Amino acid sequence: MDATAARGYALITGASSGIGAEFARQYAALGVPLILTARRVHRLQSLAAELASQVDVQVIAEDLEDPAAPARLQAEIQRRRLHVQILVNNAGYGVAGRYLTRDWAVHARFVQLMVTAPSELTWRLLPDLIQSGSGQIINVASFAALVPGADGQTLYAPAKAWLLAMSQSLSLEYADRGVHVCALCPGFTWSEFHDVTGTRAQMSRLPKWVWLSAEQVVRAGIEGVRRGQVLVIPGWRYRGLYQVLRHLPQAWLLRLMARSSRRVRSQG
């Protein structure tokens, strides 16, 4: 991490566990001060206590499912006179089940958290990142953004594809202003994600080679955005798989996704 970036704060959403907490730990090890936000304030405070001996850690509890949360978060950052130089849009979850098995209110909260909140937060903080001359944005997307959507996760792949396309556009628009933007697209990663979606039992049956550690994913993201990569796929197996899949006809890919979805449902 260069000295300029080390002077600004890294704002990490969804920092209470999993990939978000690991971003906090790795940035702290690099000497980058932190702003941690998530719903579960007690977890944020515990993580802040863990890292306080390394860097300054600011905790701002917010639920980004609330449409007013991004504006409140920006206002509190400004009130504390903090300067954000790195933005990690990480907060997220999955909604298991086919589209009509869930009320629209569930889907609306999901879209707010996964699409609207990171888009608005980026819009609100981008002027500071530009002013710094060396801003960085990591949008935690998914390998799901690179393949057809799955049966039973109707809005997940579209939301992650949104983050990927937004990262590409922002990179084109602001790279010449010193802002590096990347979409981090990991495959299956050990975290609480599958506990939240209720799919832990099915996922545990997958072969060990498909799983990535949070440490591996975060390291790839930090190094990738520093190098100016717009698309970062952690793990050589997933990078190889992407190179194969991107050359297959869409009809084949859809059949593969259908077969994979049936297998997962049958194991549930």
Residues linked to residue 84 through DSSP beta bridges, in sequence order: 9
Yes or no: say if 73 and 37 are a contact pair by the CB < 8 Å rule.
Answer: yes
156 catalytic residue (yes or no):
yes
Sequence-ordered alpha helix ranges (H) in 145-209: 156-174, 193-197, 200-203
Q: Which amino acid is at 27?
A: Y
Q: Which amino acid is at 152?
A: G
Catalytic residue, chosen from 27, 93, 99, 156, is 156
Residues 132, 127: Cα–Cα separation, whole Å: 9
Q: Which amino acid is at 109?
A: R
Burial of 243 (0-12, 13-18, 19+ CB in 10 A): exposed
Collapsing DSSP to helix, strand or coil, 8 comes out as coil
Could you list the beta-strand ranges (E) of the chain: 9-13, 34-37, 57-59, 84-89, 136-140, 180-184, 231-232
Q: Which two tokens stand for residue 207?
A: 């072969």
Q: Enumerate the active-site residues.
A: 156
